[in-house]
Amino acid sequence: MMLINNSGNDTTMPRTKFSIAAAKWDLMEGSRVLPVMMAMLFIFGLLLAFHYVVSDSKHQAELRHKAATMRAEAMWQCNRVPAMAARDRCLSQISPPDVISAQL
């Protein structure tokens, strides 16, 4: 336990947890600690939102890329069919690219 001296008097009083916290609060009251902490929390929130938006758009781009790859593979398979009527039926079953991106 630490003893403090009250304004030069010989009397000393023990420092409690409450008095230490009160002294710290008195120091913070006139300073810019609280506004700085609030600004840091706000910036952290903005960074978290930015991370969410970027990761979601990355996931959506991966899905779009996968759909385009699957469509190109299906068209390649359809174009390999030798009979013209079968090739046309195969190509008609493949959905256009704008429908694929609208479904994502």
Is there a domain that residue 13 lies in?
no
Enclosing domain of residue 96: 60-104
Q: Are 19 and 1 in contact (CB under 8 A)?
A: no
Q: Where are the alpha helices (DSSP H) in 13-32?
A: 17-29
Number of folded domains that form the chain: 1
Residue 19 lies in a domain: no
Examine residue 64 and state whether it is found in any structural domain, yes or no. yes
Q: Is residue 53 assigned to a domain?
A: no
- Strand pairing category for 12-14 and 3-5: antiparallel
Interior angle at CA 29, CA 42 and CA 5, nearest 5: 140
> pTM for the complete prediction?
0.52
**Residue 74 falls inside a structural domain:** yes
The tens digit of pLDDT for each residue in 41-78 reads 999 999 999 999 999 999 999 999 998 899 889 888 88
- 25, part of any domain: no
pLDDT tens digits, residue range 10-38?
455 566 666 776 666 666 666 777 888 99
Those residues with Cβ within 8 angstroms of residue 15's Cβ, 6 or more apart along the chain or in another chain: 1, 2, 3, 4
The rounded distance, in Å, linking the Cα atoms of 98 and 94 is 12
- Tell whether 81 is covered by a domain: yes
